[in-house]
Structure formats: structure tokens, C-alpha cells
Amino acid sequence: MSDTDQDLIEAIRAGNPRRFSVLVDRHKDRAMTLALRIVGERGAAEELVQDAFLRAYRSLEKFRGDAKFSTWFYRILYNVCMTRVLRRPKEKVEWSDDDMRTLDVADQDVPSAQERMEAEEMQALLKEELARIPQAFRSALTLFYVQELSYEEMASVLEMPLGTVKTNLSRGRVLLRKRVMERLNEEVYAA
């Protein structure tokens, strides 16, 4: 059976620092996915993931084990990425309650359009539209679906109240879904 993250951390603390490579291997792809979705450029994302791992290793002694290593590490990574993102011009989060209402209307056509689309095309569409939604929603969606964090763990990583996390996640899903559905309908009608 493979070692848990906690086992690896204990091994590192016990004088076997090379075990850190197993932690890096285990978390690098999910970390890269999160960083890439926040900053949007592969080169910058890779650099930030590396930076986050270096910071995590150097402050491993501060990790008390109250939360999972992944939650603690993603908080470091998220902060590193946000420091980079905050240097850019501020993004306007466009949201209105109409977005929630239009979902019901769009739903009428959804199953048929969604079923007609090949899985690969759907993935490509999701990826494109995900890159276009506001960063706060994108981060919430990625932490939930890719990092598979619970609502509470997300609140800890994002340093936000639980209610805000739930709202961002829900709005993010609705907005993304709405945009994907619009694209799907466009393509269905265009065909």
C-alpha cells in the first residue's frame, strides 16, 4: 500500500527529505491544473507550482496536520497564484439574478443538445468557457472538481466564509453551464 501524505511528511521530518519527491509527484498535476486555470499561461503556471512546492517544503515544520496536506498546500498555491493575478487589472465579476432565471429556459433544450455532442467536443467547450468566466468562480469550480475539496476545505483554502464559497461555486456552475448551453444551442442550430 502506498504511503499517505501524512506518512510522507513524518518520514521527511524524521530525516528522509527525499520523500518529498513522492508528494510532488502525487500533487503536481492537480496543482498545475489549478494554477493554469487561475493564471491562464502554462509557463507562468508551472513556475508558480514550483514556487508553491518550494514554499511548502521550506515551511513544512509549520504544518500541524490539523487539515490535510493537500488543503494546506493548495492554500499556499492559491495565494502564490493570486499574488500574480492581482498584479493584473482587476476583473469585473458580472452576475445577475437573470443568469439563474435563464437557466430554466435553457434547460428545455439542454438534454437533446448535450446528448448530440461528442464527449470530446463537450470537454473542449467546457475548457474554453471555463477560461472565460470570472476568476473567483473558476477557482471555486477547480478546487471542487479537480482538487475534490469539500465546501469546508475550499473555505479554508480560499480564506472565505463558507456561504461565499457555496455561492461562488453555485454561481460558477450556473454561469458556466449557461454559457456552454448557449454555445451548444448555437452549434445545434448552425448544423
Partner 1 sequence: MSGAEKHRSVEQLHALIDRQLDPAERALVTEHLRGCAGCRSRYESLGRFDAAFRKMPLAALSPAFTRSVMVTLGLAPKVPLVFRLVERAAYVFGLLIVLAFIVTAFVLGGVITSADLAGSQGAARRYLDATGSALAAAAGVLGSWLKDYLPFLFNRGGIAITAVALAVVIMLAALDRTIGKRFAQRLR
Binding site for partner 1 (CB under 8 A): 17-18, 20-21, 24-25, 28-30, 32-33, 36, 42, 45-46, 49-51, 53-55, 57, 100, 103-104, 107, 110-111, 114, 119, 122-123, 126-127, 141, 144-146, 150-151, 166, 169-170, 173-174, 176-177, 180
> Nearest approach, Cβ of 173 to partner 1 (angstroms)?
6
> Strand, coil or helix: what is 107?
helix
Grid cell in block for residue 96: 445577475
* C-beta closer to partner 1: residue 4 or 21: 21
Q: Where are the beta strands (DSSP E) in the chain?
A: none
CA distance 78 to 153: 13
Comparing CA positions, the residue from 131, 135, 9 lying closest to residue 65 is 9
* C-beta closer to partner 1: residue 68 or 166: 166
> Nearest approach, Cβ of 95 to partner 1 (angstroms)?
13
> Nearest approach, Cβ of 94 to partner 1 (angstroms)?
18
Residues 6+ apart with CB under 8 A from 5: 23, 26, 68, 69, 70
> Nearest approach, Cβ of 28 to partner 1 (angstroms)?
5
Query: Dihedral (C-alpha) 94, 100, 101, 106: value to the nearest 10 degrees?
Result: 100
* C-beta closer to partner 1: residue 39 or 75: 39
> Nearest approach, Cβ of 146 to partner 1 (angstroms)?
7
* C-beta closer to partner 1: residue 14 or 119: 119
* C-beta closer to partner 1: residue 45 or 75: 45
Dump the DSSP string for 120-144: HHHHHHHHHHHTTS-HHHHHHHHHH
- Give the number of other CB atoms < 10 A from CB of residue 98: 9
Comparing CA positions, the residue from 25, 5, 15, 33 lying closest to residue 139 is 33
> Nearest approach, Cβ of 128 to partner 1 (angstroms)?
12
* C-beta closer to partner 1: residue 66 or 97: 97
